[in-house]
Amino acid sequence: MGRRRLVPLGGLVLALLARPSPTAAQQASINASAQVSIIALSIAGTQDLDFGTVASGTPMTIDPRTSVSAGRFQINGFPFGQFQLTFTLPALLQRFPGPATMPISFGATAACGRTTNVQATCGYFNPANPFLGRIRLAFPPNNNYFVWVGATVSPGVAQAPGVYQGAITATVAYTGN
C-alpha cells in the first residue's frame, strides 16, 4: 500500500459545478471529469489475443510479457483502490461456423499485470486464480491497471482450416465496498 491524499469527492464536485464564469466552468469540467473518472469503475479491452495463422500439429504459445499479440485490457478506477480480477477461461476454441474445435490452455504465467503500460516489466500471475491488484495512485487518465493475457493453442495434425475463436470473461470488482 502507499500514501494517499485525496480531497473529498462529492463536495468538490458540487463546489466546482456551482461556479459560474466561463473560465471556471471549463475548469469545473476538467475537474469534474477527473472526479467521475475516479469514482467510476471500468474494464476496457484494448487488444484481442491473436494467434494469427498457426501450423497444424504444432502448439503455439503467446507470452503475455513478450508478445505483441498478447491480449490486453486496462482497468480504470479509484486511485489506489484494490480490485479483484477473475477470469473465465475457455478450454476449446470453436470454428465458426461448424463443429470443429481447437484446444487452448492457460499456464501459471499466462497473465501479466502492471500499473503502467509497460508490458516488458509486468508481473506474471495465474489467470486461473483470482488476482488482487491496486489501481495506480494517480489522477485521471493515469488511474489505471494494465493486464496482458497469453495462452497456448494446440492445433491437431489434421486440423480443419478456418478461423477458431473463443472468449475470455474478465470480471473486475472493488474489494472495499
Q: Which residues ranging from 33 to 72 are in contact with another protein (CB under 8 A)?
A: 33-56, 60, 71
Give yes or no for residue 112 binding another protein (CB under 8 A): no
Give yes or no for residue 170 binding another protein (CB under 8 A): yes
Q: Is the peptide bond before 130 cis (omega within 30 degrees of 0)?
A: no
Give the Cβ contact number of residue 46 at 10 Å.
12
How many chain residues interact with another protein (CB under 8 A)?
Answer: 86
Q: What is the closest distance, in whole angstroms, from the C-beta atom of residue 120 to another protein in the complex? A: 20
Shorter beta-carbon distance to another protein: residue 116 or 175: 175
> Would you state the cell numbers that stand for residue 77, as one nine-digit string?
478506477
Sites for another protein among residues 73-102 (CB under 8 A): 73-74, 76-78, 80-82, 84, 90, 93, 95-98, 102
Give yes or no for residue 7 binding another protein (CB under 8 A): yes
Q: What is the closest distance, in whole angstroms, from the C-beta atom of residue 149 to another protein in the complex? A: 8
Sites for another protein among residues 126-165 (CB under 8 A): 130, 132, 140-141, 149, 151, 153, 155, 159-165
Shorter beta-carbon distance to another protein: residue 12 or 124: 12
**CA angle (140, 33, 46) in 5-degree steps:** 50
